[in-house]
Chain A
Amino acid sequence: MKVTQLSTFIENRPGRLHAACTALAAKGVNIHTLMLADTAEFGILRLIVADPAAGKVALDAAGYVTRLTEVVAVEVPDDAGGLARILVEADAAGLNIEYMYAFSTAVGQHAVVIIRFAEPDRAVSELQQRGISVIAPVTLFAA
């Protein structure tokens, strides 16, 4: 049920982000969503792509340093307090969230957030036990 996220190190220089995206495009790797965490000097680009392994090969070949990590896609009811309820449950289960970001497209009637948990496996089972919908990659990419 986990989703594989591709991340890469980007220097804070003009053209670097563009070059990374071009490297992916050249290999036909479609970007579903992305999130750039940046500091004054560098950024970490996290990507959800259709084919993470191919994306990694494309970026590695273009000279980027990359890493594949497991994240969890969680369905969020599109109403006030929807996200808060999920976070309350994660808290109750003692799940440590490293960071999170919104998925760019909705799945059905719902918004989706991508959450990087410290323990992705435990997060999936805890959330599911608590009635929160975790979205499989296949559903996510079909959206």
Chain B
Amino acid sequence: MMMRENWNDQGQGFHPVSAPDYLPAAQLRDLQLRRLKAVVNRAYEHVSLFRERMQERGLTPACIGSLADLAQLPFTIKTDLRDTYPFGLFASPMSEIVRLHASSGTTGKPIVVAYTQEDLQVWASVMLRTFASAGIHRGDIVQNAYGYGLFTGGLGAHYGLEAIGATVVPTSGGNTDRQIMLMRDFGVTAVCCTPSYFLHMIERANELGVDMRELPLRAGVFGAEPWSEGMRECIEKGGGIKAYDIYGLSEIIGPGVGAECCEQAGLHIFEDHFYPEIIDPETCKVLPDGEEGELVLTTLSKRAMPMIRYRTRDITHIITEPCSCGRTVRRIARVARRSDDMFIIRGVNVFPSQIETALLAVEGALPHYRIVLTREHGLDQMGVEVEVGAEVFSDQVSAMESLHKRLAHSIERITGIRAAVRLVEPHSIPRSEGKARRVWDERKA
């Protein structure tokens, strides 16, 4: 049973389940090492792919004598999950598995993940810690607009919210008008969904004559896609809330790997369950704390599907300074770039977040946009469609042409690529109710 707040702790920003966030470093490392040894043993015994890769390198679980020894172990990558579809990486028999989730799988087979009863308890506890660090507690009415179902976002957040004792409104994604009506009528105080969907909700609320800033809503817990500081500003200003970034991925557990605290300065990793390393994505060498590279995660407690050194494709760094909130678990910087989202155009690596930064620099607010990649006469073209909002629209052609020119310059300055910018009418770019899709790659192979 999940531990509850003490009767006289309520509303004080402390929850007993968050205690591991404050462990002294030595004690935390000791706990991590003990858990690491156990999880490597478990994976070696029950997951043939992992055992074979260890054996190829002449390794046994006994090789783990310290946390640094983790660096010897083989990586796990996304295609390992596809190649072993559906159940090849499970370490528990189906009789112990109580839940399956799967990725949407836009290409080929989806990725399947499994949970034992214990795994679900751990998941609920890390989600509880996620919400606790955003200052959400009993008495809050929380609208959970992450999609419920195979996607880990909806149910992951749901059980964490129930565990903390908040009142959950399980709206799932979609039907934006109803979301806004319920938010207003129920006096919702916090919301969780993807940041791009919340921006859409703000936009729609304004159209419906609902000013979100006047509602009791005070916090938003946003994740499942990379977003920027600029987008946070738009959300906080437009919604009249504090917007917290959270981090997670289905392969590791779902949401609940890390979360921002009230300082909003990096995401604390729940290190007693997930061990972070940063590697150079080219050489695969572990980098010291503070250096930017790819985040690699090892699950320290998962039973149904232990993940050893999973390459997340997310680019970040570990923040070395201690956080003023008092938590001792390390922080990672906001993940603004995913190497998966990166596209290569004319030999240059471009991230959608760079386009976002370029648009923000010109307009001061983030317009809806999409990137369309095409190939004309064998040459790759990057088109950026930008919706014209009320703030930037002018009745003068010269002003609109100037806006167009400034957007194109800004994109070229930041990415080094000349983009064909197209100003489009509001609402002409499709909205997503889950993870935002920014890139349409129409290049034929």
Q: Which residues of A contact B (CB under 8 A)?
A: 5, 7, 9-11, 16, 37, 39, 41-42, 44, 46, 60, 63-67, 69, 98-99, 116
Partner-binding segment picked from B84-92, B265-273, B420-428: B420-428
How far apart are the CA atoms of A125 and B400 in the complex, in Å?
29
Q: B186 contacts the other chain (Cβ, under 8 Å)?
A: no
- Tally of chain B residues near chain A (CB < 8 A): 19
**Chain A residue nearest to B427 in the complex (CB):** A63
What residues of chain B lie closer than 8 Å to A39, measured between beta carbons?
A: 397, 400-401
Interface residues in B92-149 (C-beta closer than 8 Å to A) = none
What residues of chain B lie closer than 8 Å to A42, measured between beta carbons?
A: 388, 400, 423
Q: A9-B388, A39-B401, A44-B400 are in contact. Are A65 and B426 (CB under 8 A)?
A: yes
- Residue of A44, A46, A99 with most chain B CB atoms under a 10 A cut-off: A44
Q: State which of B390, B397, B422, B427 has its C-beta within 8 Å of the C-beta of A44.
A: B397
Q: B340 contacts the other chain (Cβ, under 8 Å)?
A: no
Could you list 21 A-B pairs, sorted by A, with CB under 8 Å? A7-B395, A9-B388, A10-B425, A11-B424, A16-B425, A37-B397, A39-B397, A39-B400, A41-B404, A42-B400, A44-B400, A46-B395, A64-B425, A64-B426, A65-B393, A66-B390, A66-B393, A67-B393, A98-B396, A116-B395, A116-B396
Q: B173 contacts the other chain (Cβ, under 8 Å)?
A: no
**Chain B residue nearest to A10 in the complex (CB):** B425
What residues of chain A lie closer than 8 Å to B388, measured between beta carbons?
A: 9, 42, 65
Q: Is the CB of A69 within 8 A of B426?
A: no
Interface residues in B406-440 (C-beta closer than 8 Å to A) = 422-428
How far apart are the CA atoms of A65 and B387 in the complex, in Å?
10
Q: B394 contacts the other chain (Cβ, under 8 Å)?
A: yes
Shortest distance between the CB of A61 and any CB in chain B (Å): 8
Q: Is the CB of A65 within 8 A of B390?
A: yes
Q: Is the CB of A63 within 8 A of B425?
A: yes
Q: B170 contacts the other chain (Cβ, under 8 Å)?
A: no
What residues of chain B lie closer than 8 Å to A65, measured between beta carbons?
A: 388-390, 393, 425-426
Q: A9-B425, A10-B425, A41-B422 are in contact. Are A69 and B395 (CB under 8 A)?
A: yes
**Chain A residue nearest to B401 in the complex (CB):** A39
How far apart are the CA atoms of A42 and B207 in the complex, in Å?
24
How far apart are the CA atoms of A37 and B400 in the complex, in Å?
11
What residues of chain A lie closer than 8 Å to B427, measured between beta carbons?
A: 63
What residues of chain A lie closer than 8 Å to B422, measured between beta carbons?
A: 41
Shortest distance between the CB of B204 and any CB in chain A (Å): 12
What residues of chain A lie closer than 8 Å to B428, measured between beta carbons?
A: 11
Q: Which residues of B contact A (CB under 8 A)?
A: 207, 388-390, 393-397, 400-401, 404, 422-428
What residues of chain A lie closer than 8 Å to B390, measured between beta carbons?
A: 65-67
The 5 closest A-B pairs by CB, nearest first: A7-B395, A63-B427, A65-B393, A9-B388, A37-B397
How far apart are the CA atoms of A74 and B422 in the complex, in Å?
36
Given contacts A5-B395, A10-B425, A11-B424, 8 further A-B contacts (CB under 8 A): A9-B388, A9-B423, A63-B425, A64-B426, A65-B389, A66-B393, A67-B395, A98-B396
Shortest distance between the CB of A85 and any CB in chain B (Å): 26
Q: A9-B388, A65-B388 are in contact. Are A99 and B423 (CB under 8 A)?
A: no
Q: Is the CB of B395 within 8 A of A63?
A: no
What residues of chain B lie closer than 8 Å to A46, measured between beta carbons?
A: 395
Q: Is the CB of A11 within 8 A of B425?
A: yes
What residues of chain B lie closer than 8 Å to A44, measured between beta carbons?
A: 394-397, 400
Shortest distance between the CB of A117 and any CB in chain B (Å): 12
What residues of chain A lie closer than 8 Å to B425, measured between beta carbons?
A: 9-11, 16, 63-65
**Chain A residue nearest to B393 in the complex (CB):** A65
Q: Is the CB of A9 within 8 A of B393?
A: yes
Shortest distance between the CB of A9 and any CB in chain B (Å): 5
Shortest distance between the CB of B388 and any CB in chain A (Å): 5
Q: Is the CB of A99 within 8 A of B396?
A: yes
What residues of chain B lie closer than 8 Å to A64, measured between beta carbons?
A: 425-426
**Chain B residue nearest to A42 in the complex (CB):** B423
**Chain B residue nearest to A11 in the complex (CB):** B425
What residues of chain A lie closer than 8 Å to B401, measured between beta carbons?
A: 39
How far apart are the CA atoms of A23 and B423 in the complex, in Å?
21
Shortest distance between the CB of A18 and any CB in chain B (Å): 14
What residues of chain B lie closer than 8 Å to A60, measured between beta carbons?
A: 207
What residues of chain A lie closer than 8 Å to B397, measured between beta carbons?
A: 37, 39, 44, 99
What residues of chain B lie closer than 8 Å to A63, measured between beta carbons?
A: 425-427
Shortest distance between the CB of A21 and any CB in chain B (Å): 15
What residues of chain B lie closer than 8 Å to A116, measured between beta carbons?
A: 395-396
- Residue of A11, A16, A46, A99 with most chain B CB atoms under a 10 A cut-off: A11
What residues of chain B lie closer than 8 Å to A66, measured between beta carbons?
A: 390, 393
Shortest distance between the CB of A45 and any CB in chain B (Å): 9
**Chain B residue nearest to A45 in the complex (CB):** B395
Shortest distance between the CB of A55 and any CB in chain B (Å): 14
Shortest distance between the CB of A92 and any CB in chain B (Å): 24
**Chain A residue nearest to B398 in the complex (CB):** A98
How far apart are the CA atoms of A77 and B308 in the complex, in Å?
85
What residues of chain A lie closer than 8 Å to B207, measured between beta carbons?
A: 60
